[in-house]
Amino acid sequence: MQAATIVFDRIAKIVLKWQNGSLPEYELDVLNSLVLQDLLPTSMDQSTALSVAVTRFRKLALAVPKPVYARSIVDGHGEDEAVYVRGNHKTMTPERAPRRFLTAAATNVFSQPGSGRRQWADALVHPNNTLTSRVMVNRVWAHLFGRGLVATVDNFGAMGERPTHPELLDHLSYRFIRDGWSLKRLIRKLVLSNTYRLSTQPVVRSKRVDPLNQWLSHMPVRRLPAEAIRDSILAVSGRLQHHMFGPSVPISLKTVTASRARPRKDGPLDGAGRRSVYQEIRRNYLPGFLRAFDLPNASVTFGQRAVTNVPTQALALMNDPFVIQQTSVWAKQVVGMNASFKSRINHLHLSAYSRPATRREQSRFRKILNSLTSQLKVRPSELNDLRVWQAICHIMIGRKEFIFLIGDP
């Protein structure tokens, strides 16, 4: 009976605060619950003005669209935790490890209230911490030059390699911070440098003095990443769509093996001509053509991708349905040209390699034309047979120069 009296007294105080306009928000939820459960009598009969106001309020409330909820992060209470010795949860350190930044880069401990996430983020990009900018600059350098100034892109620790050009790394790191951490400015600076524009053909002396090309005596031969190879095929065939944004395109199920993770929606074989960045990527169902060219596991971060040169890549360029489809599209364009055989071969080389065909290549493709016309039983004078030009276009994509960046002196 005493407990009921306490409850009723508390409710009476809540109602009194509501009447005085001093009800706090956390007690307003209690009052609303009591009204919704019909535990407090409510009536508008005694006040016409109240009835009109409540009716108008209810109409406005119904007109408000339902809220859209999204996941968010809320900073909680900071908790220092013990360290599991050798990863064993049964053997913990007696002292709790304080919340702090990486001990190799800073010594201060986060003593402010909260989880320390904000302090950690501030320490990550603090001007005194050059580790972040060095790692970022090195990754961009590795992407453009094929090898980082620090070869171990994912390891700047004691087990990583020393930088080949420490002063250059420090300079680029400083400029990167000064330019507001702008990746566009960093990339512009690197690609406009003389080093980036060096030939891939080393001189005799550099082969002797710098056989591993650590001192950047010439540009290393680099293979295009998987997405760039696919986009290049779409570009030469004329199917590449240059518009940006929009939803991702489902992958074609014709090019992947069946499994329990197989998506329900089937996409076009050429991905609607859209760049690979707009192609749908599922962690457990990656496109086969991109995987052949070292598309990494989508569940793990990679500072630098592996670059292999294996027979499956040549087989993918020979037999993949996407490649066969695009060579047919490319061949139709060539057949529609009102030009000589020499002009068409030049056009193919300009489209694929950004250069005209050499005399040797012109002679070689003339022999290839004669061989194809003989095999397919086509007159040598007939230049518009689609099968012949599809085979020639297929040869152009299958050459090493199509997927490797090679610069002449």
CB atoms within 10 A of CB 190: 17
Of residues 55 and 318, the one with the higher pLDDT is 318
95 is a domain residue: no
Please, are residues 233 and 285 in contact by the beta-carbon 8 Å criterion? no
Assess whether 299 and 381 both reside in one domain. Answer: yes
Q: Is residue 137 part of a domain?
A: yes
Q: Check if the beta carbon of residue 82 is closer than 8 Å to that of residue 93.
A: yes
Side chain identity at 135, as an amino acid letter? V
156 belongs to a structural domain:
yes
**34 pLDDT band (50/70/90 cuts)?**
confident
Residue 287 structural domain: 221-409
pLDDT at 1: 56
Question: How large a percentage of the chain has pLDDT more than 90?
Answer: 41
Helix (H), strand (E), coil (C) string for 87-118: HCCCCECCCCECCECCCCCCCCECCCCCCCHH
Q: Taking 60 as the threshold, does the pLDDT of residue 275 lie above it? A: yes
Q: How confident is the model at residue 298 (pLDDT cuts 50, 70, 90)?
A: confident
Question: Is residue 121 a part of any domain in this protein?
Answer: no
pLDDT above 80: residue 8? no
Q: What is the model's pLDDT at position 301?
A: 83
Indicate whether 178 and 225 sit together in one domain.
Answer: no
Residues 362 and 326 in one domain: yes
User: d(Cα 380, Cα 372) in Å, to the nearest integer?
Assistant: 9
Cβ partners under 8 Å of residue 331, min gap 6 = 386, 389, 390, 392, 393
Candidate from 128-142, 333-347, 373-387 with smallest mean pLDDT: 373-387
266-284: average pLDDT: 89
Q: Is the pLDDT of residue 255 over 70?
A: no
397 and 273 both lie in a single domain: yes
CA distance 394 to 387: 10
The answer to whether residue 94 sits within a structural domain is no
Report pTM. 0.74
Asked whether residue 150 is domain-assigned, the answer is yes
Average pLDDT over residues 257-269: 77
How large is the average pLDDT for residues 192-201? 90
Confidence check: pLDDT of 409 > 60: no
Q: How far, in whole angstroms, is CA 281 from its chain's centroid?
A: 10
Q: Which of 98-112, 205-219, 221-235 has the highest mean pLDDT?
A: 221-235
Q: 177 and 231 in one domain?
A: no
pLDDT at 137 over 90: yes
Q: How confident is the model at residue 45 (pLDDT cuts 50, 70, 90)?
A: low
Is residue 291 within 8 Å of 251, Cβ to Cβ? Answer: no
pLDDT band, very low/low/confident/very high, at 97 (cuts 50, 70, 90): confident
CA distances from 131 to 101, 109, 253 (A): 12, 18, 43
- 144-176 burial, b at 16+ Cβ within 10 Å, e below that, comes to bbbbbbbbebeebeeeeeebbeeeebeebbeeb
Q: Which of 15-24, 127-136, 194-203, 360-369 holds the top average pLDDT?
A: 360-369
Please indicate, yes or no, whether residues 371 and 236 belong to a single structural domain of this protein: yes
Among candidate residues 209, 231, 263, the one where a domain is terminated: 209
CA quadruple 71, 73, 79, 80: dihedral positive or negative? positive
> Would residue 182 count as lying in a domain?
yes
What percent of the chain shows pLDDT beyond 70?
94
Per-residue pLDDT for 169 more than 80?
yes
113 vs 90, which has greater pLDDT? 90
- Residue 348 in tokens: 């193919």
Residue 85: inside a domain, yes or no?
no
> What's residue 116's pLDDT?
84
With beta carbons less than 8 A apart as the criterion, state whether 112 and 119 touch.
Answer: yes
Confidence label for 359 from pLDDT (cuts 50, 70 and 90):
very high
232 shares its domain with 154: no
Of residues 33 and 167, more confidence is placed in: 167
Structure tokens at 60: 């406005």
306 and 343 share one domain? yes
- 256's CB contacts (< 8 A; 6+ apart) are 262, 285, 287, 288
Residues 148 and 263 in one domain: no
Mean pLDDT, to the nearest integer, of 331-338?
91
On average, the pLDDT of the chain sits at: 86
pLDDT at 174: 93
Confidence bin at 156 (pLDDT 50/70/90): confident
More confident residue, 323 or 206: 323
